Amino acid sequence: MTVFFNEESYGHIQDPFHPESPDRLRGIVQGLKRHGLWDDVMASKTGKIENLLPVHDEDYIDFLRTCGECSLTMDTLVHKETFEIAALSAECGIDATVYSKMNGKPTFALTRPPGHHAGRNYGMGFCYLNNIAIAANHLLSSGDERIAIVDADVHHGNGTEQIFAHRKDVLYISTHQTGIFPGTGNVDFVGKGEGVGYTLNMPFASGCGDSTYDTAHSNLIEPVLRQFEPDAILVSFGVDGHYRDPLASLSLSSDGHLRVARNLMRAAERCENRVTFMLEGGYDVPALTEVVCAIVGEMRGVEVKLEYNDIMDNSCLGRGVIERCMRNASEYWDL
Ligand code: Q9C
Ligand code: ZN
């Protein structure tokens, strides 16, 4: 099994013109079928509340479950079916990480709705339940000692960062665009209390792309992952850093996204190939589709041709940010 997906996710429709629409998944599923990659897909069973409780307050869960029609923020609406689909999305993430653990293989969870903006008692930014935090907690409570979360969505994962800021058993590394939603993810925030040194933020300016990400991975993300020695790597994977994306303005190409994924799969060779990609954002459906297909293809040994490969950043525009992050991180890591 490589891909984890639930039909029910199509039923999550915030409003007809919302960018986080079911067409995103329809595009991906169609693409995977076209490339012969849809023979290896697993669905999840209804989300279990016990798995949500270590991450979210019971009051918040009850509110989501019972409010009927309400809104968490202007662009994060709750309908009567939202809680159930969000809980299934969280379960999808858990199942993909558990499968990866049992079989020593990378997995891709088509989590929808996404999760990384959701905190203990709030949802925002199209997120209701923090899928990746829920999966990380599940692994930590079933024998794992250290989990690394790499957040490659263009937005900072404020929810994930906050949930784990004080912990040293969860490493959180985020690359994101600065100056856009949600506004968190400053390079000088390195965690709290026991967790100091276990949060790394790289807030890149508009325009940063391929060469910036290549450098961030080789100079910082890879060495820190090697030293942390995680039992598994979980990836908040968005494709909204793509130059085609309508919601942000970084300039990653499709191949740039694929290299990010490859780097993480290579890092995971040191933890029995335990790496799980969980879908976060990505709002240009053709770009989202080709990138996800290429990553799943990489996992399965199938080559997927990429179309959106313009290189817009070949001079490491984000070097200053990477250096500032390295300077902060070098207090805690050998860099
Ligand atoms: N003026 C994810 O990619 N935009 N969420 C708010 C407010 C919210 C993105 C704009 C973007 C949320 C999972
Ligand atoms: Zn995003």
Buried-exposed string 213-241: b where 16+ CB fall within 10 A, e elsewhere:
bbbbbebbbebbbeebebbbbbbbbbbbb
Instruction: Output the pLDDT for position 1.
Output: 78
Instruction: With CA atoms as reference, report the closest residue to 42 among 87, 83, 93.
Output: 93
Rounded CA-CA distance 81/319 in Å is 44
Three-state secondary structure call for residue 20: coil
pLDDT along the chain (335 residues), means of 10: 96 97 98 96 92 98 97 98 98 98 98 98 98 98 98 99 98 99 98 98 98 98 99 99 99 98 98 98 99 98 98 98 98 98
Three-state secondary structure call for residue 53: coil
What residue owns the CA closest to ligand 1's atom 3? 281
Catalytic residue list: 117
CB 327: neighbour CB atoms within 10 A? 11
**Ligand 1 site, CB within 6 A:** 75, 114, 117, 125-127, 153, 155, 181, 238, 240, 247, 280-281
**Centroid of chain to Cα 225:** 16
> Which ligand is closest to the CA of 155, given by its number?
2
Name the phi and psi angles at 183, rounded to 5.
95, -10
CB 103: neighbour CB atoms within 10 A? 13
CB 209: neighbour CB atoms within 10 A? 26
| H or E segment to which residue 32 belongs | helix 23-34
> Which ligand is closest to the CA of 156, given by its number?
2
Residue bearing tokens 């508009």: 206
Distance 335 CA to ligand 2 centre (A): 29
Long-range contacts, stretch 53-61, CB < 8 angstroms, 24+ apart: 54/134, 54/137, 54/141, 55/120, 55/129, 55/130, 55/133, 55/134, 55/137, 55/163, 56/118, 56/120, 56/121, 56/129, 56/130, 57/120, 57/121, 59/121, 60/120, 60/121, 60/122
Q: What is the reported pTM?
A: 0.98
Rounded CA-CA distance 142/145 in Å is 9
Asked whether 61 and 52 are in contact (CB, 8 A), the reply is yes
Instruction: Output the pLDDT for position 40.
Output: 83
Residue type, 144: D
CA triple 264-294-217, angle to 5 deg:
25
User: Which atom of ligand 1 is least distant from the CA of 282?
Assistant: 3
Distance 101 CA to ligand 1 centre (A): 32
User: Which atom of ligand 1 is least distant from the CA of 240?
Assistant: 3
Instruction: Output the pLDDT for position 220.
Output: 98
Instruction: With CA atoms as reference, report the closest residue to 277 among 262, 290, 287.
Output: 262
